[in-house]
Amino acid sequence: MAKPTLGVFGLTGCAGDQLVILNCEDELLELTELVDIKDFLMASSGNDTSCQLDVALVDGAVLSQRDEDMLKRIRERSRLLVALGTCAVWGGVASLDRNQDRTRLLEDVYGEMGKKYDSLPARALHEVVNVDLSITGCPIEKDQLISAVASLLQGDPPLYPKYPVCTECRMREYNCLLIERGEICCGPLTVAGCQARCPGLNVPCVGCRGPADDANVESAMNMFGEKGIPREEIAAKLRTFAPAWGVNV
Amino acid sequence: MTRSIKVNHLARVEGHGGVTVEMDGRSVSSVRFDIFEGARLLEALARGRHYTDVPQIVSRICAICSVSHSISSIKATESAFGVTPTPQTELLRDLLYRGEDIESHSLHVFCLAVPDYLNYPSVVALAADHPDAARLGLRLKKLGNTIQEVIGGRAVHPVNVLVGGFGKLPTADQLMALRDELHQAAEDSKSVVDLIASLPPADYCSKDTVFAALRPKQFGYGYYSGDQIHVRLNGKTEAVPAAEYRSLANERAVPHSHAKHSQYKGRPFMVGALARLTVNSDLLNGSVADVKQKFGLNLPSGNPMDNNKAQALELVYDIHRSLETVEKLLADGLREEAPVPVRPKAGSGTGVTEAPRGMLVHSYSFDGQGRLATADVITPTAFNAASVEEHLRRAVEQNAGDDDAALTKKLEMIVRAYDPCISCSVHLVRRRNAP
Ligand code: SF4
Ligand code: SF4
């Protein structure tokens, strides 16, 4: 049987999730025995840029007409499209600007010339095309990437936690930064999967993985309230990585 | 007769870039290094944020250089608030930068550049015929990531680095495991030297070149410490204090690119491994004394292809130096210390460090509550863009007789040798007053 075909693409982002693929140093060469990587511009100059693909992995968000056209083209040629990383899944850091005047920002940064650039407000992939699987994280976690590839090869989608980082933090018996130190930790609302990486290092979670489906937003907000942390401050923190937290202030 | 050469999608570089050349007979009418990345405006978006949020936001400018962005940001903030990190923090940061450098250089040298010299499209294709070379590169790349995980808390976008220190210090067990990996790598580094020394020569565009790099203040040849920029111009070295970095960055915004172009005294200049070696090689210790010679690396070199060799040399050096640091940390024992207290105040500060691909500047001002008022970030690829175009122009002039395919390959190799990081390059904020 022919090997499944794979493409790896980057829209506008930091390329961190593509880098995580290359960071699978122990698995990379083995992976290429199981799948046929047809198109991966960051890693290869010998790409087939028009063939049909079984799986397309896409990182970054849509920030320009060029990104949008590229993404639609990838969608047309792929059976499964996987959004890789918080930018692709939620909009990511660049979506911080959704409530700011983009023309002004562009002028701030580039002067008059800024008006001429191809630049759109950040959108997640699902706001532009149909997405089959989302792997969140900024960047994605290596083990979640590997399990996704393994599951896709077997034909069933991987299962990821829906509970918040807080749950992982408690399972590991880390000190709670919110209750014990009154720090603004986004763990109660952020989706797990990183093994509560930051609280494990005594550093508050900044919500880099985006919202948790199963988070109890109201009770979390009450907890912040009890610590005297204003709602707006939490909302601003949360918006750093994803505009869609459903947190009303 | 007019002729034009266009590379629409530069492969094996980070981000979306291209090259366009227009010629009229033998004379070159225009050369452009194009950048197509969408603009994310992160520094503008970070304005108004509390200083503790800033390193995490600006880290996302670029994944491969995320340690450099986070720590340059922290250095700028510490300088604005008058915070002095402890010597232990500084030593750990120095080691963290070496981890980033090892990872980035292994990726660039083995996965992006060496395939060019040996005529393969990728490291995967290279692995089919030269499995040892490919595995060697991946092994060292992993080592760089391990250092970043142990010190920085994550291989990409470190979470453990804070203004004033670290969230948590590495454990002795982690350091011992790292020491073992570094011993193995010190063995491996001999194969790196042999491989790079055996590559066919490549010289398509040598010309007199200006170089700029941060001058380290402690820990020998390195990437983190220091607050003076040294520029090598016409055989002489000129020192520019970090806070006056703007004299190296009289930028012009150009229509074909989201990166602005930098010059020093009217001359484009090169930053990166070759620039560091040119400016700082007196700080290298004995562990690489013979490597320069084995690589046939004669400094100063106006051949940007030598940047690949310079990176390989740094890779070898960093392995030895990191091993010394880890052994010292194990011998002395790590002192348990919390980050030094930070009292925010209104003011401004500049943090300059050496990212793997060259000098990186973060310059900030804060209000009295410690919220970011203005931010100015200048990345290595932005510093390099004008110099890339100068070398490309020379290559076209020297190789005008080549057919399109041959000339295109040379142009791509030159751009790749600069190791551009295009996500990085589009992030430039004009200094403006707080709104
Ligand atoms: S999700 Fe994070 S790691 Fe991935 S591209 Fe966006 S900023 Fe980079
Ligand atoms: S703890 Fe929070 S900020 Fe840290 S990696 Fe996990 S989701 Fe991201």
What confidence tens digit (pLDDT) does each residue in A130-162 have? 999 999 999 999 999 999 988 888 888 888 999
B 289-328: CB under 8 A from A:
none
Residue nearest (by alpha carbon) to ligand 1 atom 2: A138
Ligand nearest to the CA of A241: 1
Residues A146 and A169 in one domain: no
Distance B214 CA to ligand 1 centre (A): 28
Q: What percent of chain A lies above the pLDDT cut of 70?
A: 90
Domain end position, chosen among A133, A153, A173: A153
* N-to-C CA span, chain B: 53
Q: Which of A44, A102, A104 should be substituted to probe chain B, the one whose Cβ sees the most B Cβ atoms within 10 Å?
A: A44
* Nearest Cβ partner for A28 among B138, B162, B255: B138
Least confident stretch, A24-33, A221-230, B243-252, B401-410: B243-252
| Number of separate domains in chain B | 1
| More reliable by pLDDT, A94 or A244 | A94
- What CATH number is attached to the domain comprising B240? 1.10.645.10
Chain A contact present for B94, CB below 8 A: no
φ/ψ region of B404 (left if φ > 0, alpha if ψ in -120 to 50, else beta) reads alpha
The phi and psi torsions of B391 (rounded to 5 degrees) equal -70, -35
Is the pLDDT at A59 greater than 50, yes or no? yes
**Looking at residue A220, what is its pLDDT?**
87
- Among the partner-chain residues A11, A23, A202, the one whose CB lies closest to the CB of B168 is A202
What is the pLDDT, as a whole number, of residue B14? 73
Residue A245 domain-assigned? no
Q: What is the CA radius of gyration of chain A?
A: 19
Ordered strands of the A5-10 beta sheet: A36-40, A5-10, A53-59, A78-84, A133-135
The total of other beta-carbon atoms located within 10 Å of residue A46's CB is 15
- Give the pLDDT band of residue A6 (cuts 50, 70, 90): very high
Mutate to test the pocket of ligand 1, among A12, A87, A197 (most ligand atoms within 8 A of CB): A87
Distance from B226 to chain A by nearest Cα, in Å?
Answer: 27
Q: What is the pLDDT of residue B382?
A: 85
Q: Does B11 touch chain A (CB under 8 A)?
A: yes
Report the C-alpha gap between A15 and B124 in whole angstroms: 19
- Tell me if A221 is assigned to some domain: yes
DSSP calls for chain A: -PPPEEEEEE-BS-SHHHHHHHT-TTTHHHHHHHSEEEEETTTBS---SSS-EEEEEEESBB-SHHHHHHHHHHHHHEEEEEEESHHHHH--GGGGGGGS-HHHHHHHHHGGGGGGS-----B-GGGTS--SEEE-BTTB-HHHHHHHHHHHHHTS------SBHHHHHHHTTPPPHHHHH-----TTTBB--S-STTGGGT-----TT-B-TT--HHHHHHHHHHTT--HHHHHHHHTTT-S------
How far is the CA of A5 from the CAs of A26, A36, B87, B95, in angstroms? 21, 5, 51, 40
Q: Which residues line ligand 1 (CB under 6 A)?
A: A 13-14, 16-17, 59-60, 85-87, 92-93, 138-139; B 60, 63
Q: Based on the domain organization, do A89 and A123 belong to the same domain?
A: yes
B75 lies in some domain: yes
Same domain assignment for residues A140 and A171: no
Spatial separation of the C-alpha atoms in residues A83 and A104, rounded to whole Å: 30
CA-based nearest distance A178→chain B, Å: 15
Say what angle helices B380-398 and B404-417 make with each other, to 10 degrees: 150
d(CA B363, CA B386): 22
**What tens-digit pLDDT sequence spans chain B (435 residues)?**
788 888 888 877 777 788 999 988 778 888 888 776 666 677 778 888 999 999 999 999 999 999 999 999 999 999 999 999 999 999 999 999 999 999 999 999 998 888 889 989 888 889 989 999 999 999 999 999 999 999 999 999 999 999 999 999 999 999 999 999 999 999 999 999 999 999 999 999 999 999 999 999 999 999 999 999 999 999 999 999 999 998 887 665 555 555 556 788 889 999 999 999 999 999 998 778 789 999 999 999 999 999 999 999 999 999 999 999 999 999 999 999 999 999 999 999 999 999 999 999 999 999 999 999 999 888 898 889 889 999 999 999 999 889 999 999 999 999 999 998 776 655 443 333 222
Give per-residue burial for B289-317: e unless 16+ CB within 10 Å, then b: eebbeebebeebbbbbbbbbbbbbbbbbb
Between B67 and A235, the more confident residue is B67
Q: Which of A16, A46, A97 sits opposite B156 (nearest CB)?
A: A16
For residues B143 and B148, give the distance between their C-alpha atoms in angstroms, rounded to a whole number. Answer: 9
Is B432 inside a domain boundary? no
By the CB < 8 Å criterion, does A75 face chain B? Answer: no
Tell me: the pLDDT tens digits for A90-132? 999 988 756 666 677 777 666 666 666 677 888 999 999 999 9
Rounded distance between C-alpha atoms, residue B210 and residue B208, angstroms: 7
**Pairing label, strands B358-366, B347-355:** antiparallel
Atom of ligand 1 nearest to the CA of B156: 3
Question: Taking CB atoms and an 8 Å cutoff, what residues of chain A touch B260?
Answer: 110
Within a domain: A85 = yes
CB of B37 within 8 A of CB of B423? yes
* Structural domain contains residue B429: no
From the CA of A16, which ligand is nearest?
A: 1
Q: Of A132, A153, A174, at which residue does a domain stop?
A: A153
Average pLDDT over chain A, rounded to whole? 89
Dig out the tokens for B225 from the structure. Answer: 């410490």
The answer to whether residues A145 and A212 belong to one domain is: no
d(C-alpha B245, C-alpha B375), whole Å? 14
Same structural domain for residues A16 and A110?
yes
B3: three-class secondary structure by DSSP:
strand
pLDDT of residue B428: 44
Give the span between the Cα atoms of B14 and B134, in whole angstroms.
19
Q: What is the dihedral of CA A218, A220, A225, A231, to 10 degrees?
A: -70
* Of A17, A118, A3, A14, nearest in space to A58 by CA: A17
Residue A159 lies in a domain: no
User: What ipTM goes with this model?
Assistant: 0.94
Domain-embedded: residue B431:
no
The number of domains in chain A is: 2
Question: Three-state DSSP class for B27?
Answer: strand
Which sign does the torsion angle of CA B228, B229, B231, B232 carry? positive
Q: Report if residue A206 sits inside a domain.
A: yes
Task: Give the C-alpha separation, B141 to A29, whole Å.
Answer: 14
pLDDT score for B431:
33
Contacts of B293 (CB under 8 A, 6+ apart): none
Per-residue pLDDT tens over the stretch A145-204: 999 988 888 888 888 999 999 999 999 999 999 999 989 999 999 999 999 999 999 999
Give the domain CATH number at A71: 3.40.50.700
Whether residue A157 is preceded by a cis peptide bond, meaning omega within 30 degrees of 0, is: no
Are A130 and A23 members of one domain? yes
Domain assignment of residue A89, given as a range: 5-153
Domain-embedded: residue A246 = no
Beta pairing partners, B102: none
Q: Are A90 and A241 in contact (CB under 8 A)?
A: yes
Look at residue A244 and tell me if it is in a domain. Answer: no
Distance B372 CA to ligand 1 centre (A): 22
DSSP secondary structure letter of residue B8: S
Last residue of a domain, one of A129, A153, A177: A153
Whether B118 has its CB under 8 Å from any CB of chain A: the answer is: no
- Asked if A137 and A188 sit in the same domain, the reply is no
State the residue for tokens 């976008």: B157
A95 φ, ψ (degrees, to nearest 5):
-75, 0
Contact call for residues A17 and A141 (beta carbons, < 8 A):
no
Asked whether A196 and A189 are in contact (CB, 8 A), the reply is: no
Domain extent for B229:
2-424
Pairwise pLDDT comparison (A74 vs B13), residue with the higher score:
A74
Q: What are phi and psi of B166, to 5 degrees?
A: -125, 155
How far is residue A76 from each of residues A53, A92, B89, measured CA to CA in Å?
9, 24, 50
- Residue A249 inside a domain? The answer is no
